[in-house]
Amino acid sequence: MNRLQFEAKLSTFRSLSTLPAVMAEVLRICDDPDASLAELGEVIIRDVALSTRILKIVNSPFYGRAQQVSSVRNAVMTLGASKVKALALSLSLYDLSNKIGTRIDLKDFWRHSLNVACVAELIANRVAPNLAEEAFICGSIHDIGILVLDSFYPREYGKVLQSVASGEDMVNIEKQILEIDHAAAGEMLGRIWNFPDRYCVAMASHHDIFSRNDNTAENRLPQIVNLADKLATFTIESNAAQRHSVLSNREVLANNLGLSGTDLKEIEYSALSRLLETSQYLDVDVGTTAELLQQATNQLYSLYSYTEQLYRELMQTKEQLDEEKLQRVALESLQAIVATFSHYLNNAVASISGRTQLLEMSMNNGQVDDPDGVLAKSLAVYEKNAEQITSVIDKLKKVTVFKTAIYHDNTKIIDFEKEARLSSIALEEAAISKVSTPTD
């Protein structure tokens, strides 16, 4: 199954092939700079259910109106076109999702979708207030492709959900099994519904990896939604490893949008209360406060457990790397020390051999009685060279434990070589002095 096949199937699916008429009109009027709020109010009135909910929203504690608003026209005037569009579209999609045959838990789905919508709005309020309502809309609809794919291909998408539960990346596994991911599916649905292009792009790119310093205006809304999806407390991907994988581009997105670490903390801190307020005035079931807190706690524990697992694996890897590095450095140290030891040992042995030959010559020449003290001096040289060998061996003994960090430093090897060389020179000079000095 490819994109063309999916698009063909989508266009023939009666419940999804067209956007509800009222919603289509709302989008058209809100995107028409010449349209008036009065026209928008007239469209809303045609949908009794939507009118009732708009009135409920405008009179909710969230807006804190001193006087009750009793007419849809006044409600539209109070809320403004952008807010009415955001609310109307979110409510229409919520109603539509209940008509799609899917195994996805809709409470979980809308908990995540509204969570992303609220976070996107909070982000936009800081970086681009003029995009706040559209950020909310795109956050609400960003994952609609999940419901569509599950509805169209239940057997295949069942395999996707199983893989995601075991830690697979959702987008990658969707592409492997279906040849299309939910972000692309949502974008195609949005285009069939004649959504504004910027909405479709935001849906299509909410899992994309953005480049650092991408500050282009056309990518502002997509990056807001992308970051909101990463900051959301409640996720579709319940597996902690999957949750970890979507955080990789978070710092880049925050930097591109001009958000500091403090900004992110404040947004995350406000997100849960904003989700509760929004779900209440939209009358969207995302669970009770206790349920939300319990799920947040469960996800936090899951992340903690996963982080602990990562820490253990990191420490194990570090120990392995440290051990490998230790062995490599120890081997290099050993090679340097052995080479130094061999050099001075060979010199000492050569010196001993030379003095021994001198002794033999003296003996052969009838000088065994050592009238000039040559034998004695040669023996003295022998003794000093033996001391040199002993000195080098003593130093080698100090480097037998290669796990001692002090011997990993190349300067210690250099110091050792220098000390042995100076010691050898001193001994040699002493020996020569003894040989060349006349006896009394």
What pLDDT score was predicted for residue 411? 47
Which pLDDT tens digit goes with each residue over 83-118?
A: 888 888 888 888 888 777 788 888 889 889 999 999
Counting residues of the chain whose pLDDT is more than 90, the rounded percentage is 20
Sign for the CA dihedral angle at 356, 362, 364, 366 comes to: negative
What pLDDT score was predicted for residue 282? 82
Cα–Cα nearest to 124, from 138, 135, 114, 116: 135
**Are 243 and 235 spatial neighbours (Cβ–Cβ below 8 Å)?**
yes
Q: Is the pLDDT of residue 26 over 90?
A: no
Q: Which residues contact 90 (CB under 8 A, 6 or more apart)?
A: 114, 117, 136, 137, 140, 141, 282, 284
Q: Is the pLDDT of residue 124 over 70?
A: yes
- Report in angstroms the alpha-carbon separations of 112 from 71, 285, 364: 32, 11, 103
C-alpha span between 173 and 188 (Å, rounded): 19
Sign for the CA dihedral angle at 309, 311, 314, 316 comes to: negative
Rounded mean pLDDT of 56-78? 84
Cα–Cα nearest to 84, from 42, 34, 112: 42
Can you give the length of the chain in residues?
440
Cα–Cα nearest to 170, from 101, 240, 237, 76: 237
What pLDDT score was predicted for residue 400? 46
Beta strands in 341-404 (DSSP E): none
C-alpha span between 87 and 30 (Å, rounded): 12
Quickly state the pLDDT bin for 63 (edges 50, 70, 90). Answer: confident
**Are 260 and 123 spatial neighbours (Cβ–Cβ below 8 Å)?**
no
